[in-house]
């Protein structure tokens, strides 16, 4: 059976050139970048080259890049690090209610430490209003954290406009750009952000390595204390192969991004249109145009996302539910409910995310297989029977 991977937002395969670039740093160039001898200096040079490659991709200076173990750690460092270092200026943070848990959980933790957090609502497309950000500012606000693109529904947030508001107020702006770096142009100057999180495994780099961009002059406290690596902003011996892989992935992304974004946008739109044309009682979640080039998120009435997922899996197609229930609680996605979806709609959602190895043939196969799965599940759906009785 042909396998079709359409879950690139969860993770991506590592590019073979990235693997090749990393391999020597496990074996012959195994030195610790803090060592004075030549093996240490080899490793240090590789780390600094990767820092430059990544900085170039996002329009930053290399000294503004802090390597972390993941996008999650970068988000934690940004939010807790700013909160702890700027407590004397205020204790208020603004974020949105559709952020990834890597942002929401540090905010919840800070609330327990005496900080206050405003969770802004979004419109029906998942967009945060810059006006709402402005209205939420108080004299005690020290940080605004709004994601660049939402990982479930793909909506792109108006960061440049939000930055105009935060600049005027003299408040730091952080963005979680884990889903955008390497996929669409990201430039920290044009966006006007002070902090930006990213993660290598979302753009054909290895897992377990991420980075936080920290604008020069930003007051931030470290969360990991120790040997003072990363200019005292994140201690711990550097993950040299991971960092080299991140740098290489950044370099490849810079070269391939424009054409790839155009190619994926066309395939995305073909998939969306094909689904909407063939299946009734369906809605596209997220913004129709201001969305990631690779994201398709739909709610299919009368059936469960998990049932669609399992049937797709049996047909060799990997997708994801937009409504991934945290298995114990069976709560629908906080993102979909924030858009105003009823719980049944949120439970009936599905996300396809496309990537480098997605072909037109893959999209055609999904358009062939998926309507049949929906029809089969609807034929036995108690929800459909209930709705036709009312």
Contacting residue, 18, 21, 79, 102, with ligand PLP by CB under 6 A: 102
Q: Per CB under 6 A, does 180 bind ligand PLP?
A: no
Choose the stretch contacting ligand PLP; rule: CB under 6 A; options: 31-39, 66-74, 181-189, 282-290: 66-74
With CA atoms as reference, report the closest residue to 145 among 185, 195, 87, 91: 195
Measured distance CA(133)–CA(169) in Å, rounded: 11
Kindly provide the residue ranges of all beta strands, DSSP E only, lying in the chain, ordered along the sequence.
Answer: 4-5, 65-68, 92-96, 116-120, 141-145, 172-176, 195-199, 210-214, 282-284, 295-300, 317-318, 349-353
Per the CB < 8 A criterion, the answer to whether 261 and 282 are in contact is no
Report the residue number, 147 or 301, with the smaller CB distance to ligand PLP.
147
Considering only 176, 230, 260, 362, the residue that binds ligand PLP (CB under 6 A) is 176
Q: Of 70 and 381, which CB lies nearer to ligand PLP in the complex structure?
A: 70
What does the alpha-carbon distance between residue 348 and residue 355 come to, in Å, rounded to a whole number?
24
Identity of the residue, 42 or 238, whose beta carbon is nearer to ligand PLP in the bound complex: 238
Contacts with ligand PLP: how many residues (CB under 6 A)?
A: 13
Q: Is the dihedral of CA 364, 369, 375, 377 positive or negative?
A: negative
Q: Which two tokens stand for residue 240?
A: 């040299």
**319 versus 377: smaller Cβ distance to ligand PLP:** 319
Q: Which residues, other chains included, contact 292 with Cβ-Cβ below 8 Å and sequence gap of 6+?
A: 9, 149, 154, 156, 179, 180, 183, 184, 353
Of 179 and 381, which has the nearer Cβ to ligand PLP? 179
Scanning 71-79, 131-139, 187-195, 227-235 for contacts with ligand PLP by CB under 6 A, the matching segment is 71-79
Our answer to whether residue 325 is catalytic in this structure is: yes
Under rule CB under 6 A, residue 127 binds ligand PLP? no
Please identify which residue in 12, 199, 294, 333 interacts with ligand PLP, judged by CB under 6 A.
Answer: 199
Residues with catalytic annotation? 325
Sites of contact with ligand PLP (CB under 6 A):
70-72, 75, 100, 102, 147, 151, 176, 178-179, 199, 210
């Amino acid at each position: 059976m042909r396998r079709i991977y359409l879950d690139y937002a969860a993770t991506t395969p590592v590019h073979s050139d990235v693997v090749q670039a990393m391999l020597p740093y496990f074996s012959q160039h195994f030195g610790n970048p803090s060592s004075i001898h030549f093996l240490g200096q080899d490793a240090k040079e590789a780390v600094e080259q990767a820092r430059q490659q990544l900085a170039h991709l996002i329009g930053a200076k290399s000294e503004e890049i802090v390597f972390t173990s993941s996008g999650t750690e970068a988000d934690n460092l940004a939010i807790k690090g700013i909160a702890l270092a700027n407590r004397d200026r205020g204790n208020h943070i603004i974020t949105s209610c559709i952020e990834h848990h890597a942002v929401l959980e540090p905010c919840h933790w800070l609330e327990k430490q005496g900080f206050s957090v405003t969770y802004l609502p979004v419109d029906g497309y998942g967009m945060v209003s810059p006006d709402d950000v402005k209205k939420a500012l108080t004299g005690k606000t020290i940080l605004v954290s709004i994601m660049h693109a939402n990982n479930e529904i793909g909506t792109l947030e108006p960061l440049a406009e939000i930055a105009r508001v935060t600049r005027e107020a003299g408040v730091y702006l952080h963005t979680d750009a884990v889903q955008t770096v390497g996929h669409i142009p990201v430039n920290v100057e044009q966006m006007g952000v002070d902090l930006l999180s990213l993660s290598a495994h979302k753009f054909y780099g290895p897992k377990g390595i991420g980075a936080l961009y920290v604008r020069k002059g930003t007051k931030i406290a470290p969360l990991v204390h120790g040997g003072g690596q990363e200019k005292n902003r994140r201690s711990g011996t550097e993950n040299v192969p991971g960092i080299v892989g991140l740098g290489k992935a950044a370099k490849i992304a810079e070269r391939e991004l424009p054409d790839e974004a155009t190619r994926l946008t066309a395939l995305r739109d073909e998939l969306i249109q094909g689904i909407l044309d063939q299946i009734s009682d369906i809605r596209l979640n997220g913004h129709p145009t201001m969305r990631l080039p690779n994201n398709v998120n739909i709610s299919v009435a009368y059936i469960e996302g998990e049932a669609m997922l399992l049937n797709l899996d049996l047909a060799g197609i990997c997708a994801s539910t937009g409504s991934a229930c945290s298995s114990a609680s069976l709560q629908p996605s906080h993102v979909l409910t924030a858009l105003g979806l009823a719980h049944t709609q949120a439970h009936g959602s599905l996300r396809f995310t496309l990537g480098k190895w997605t072909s037109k043939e893959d999209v055609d196969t999904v358009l062939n297989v998926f309507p049949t799965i929906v029809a089969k599940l609807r034929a036995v759906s108690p929800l459909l029977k209930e709705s036709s009785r009312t």
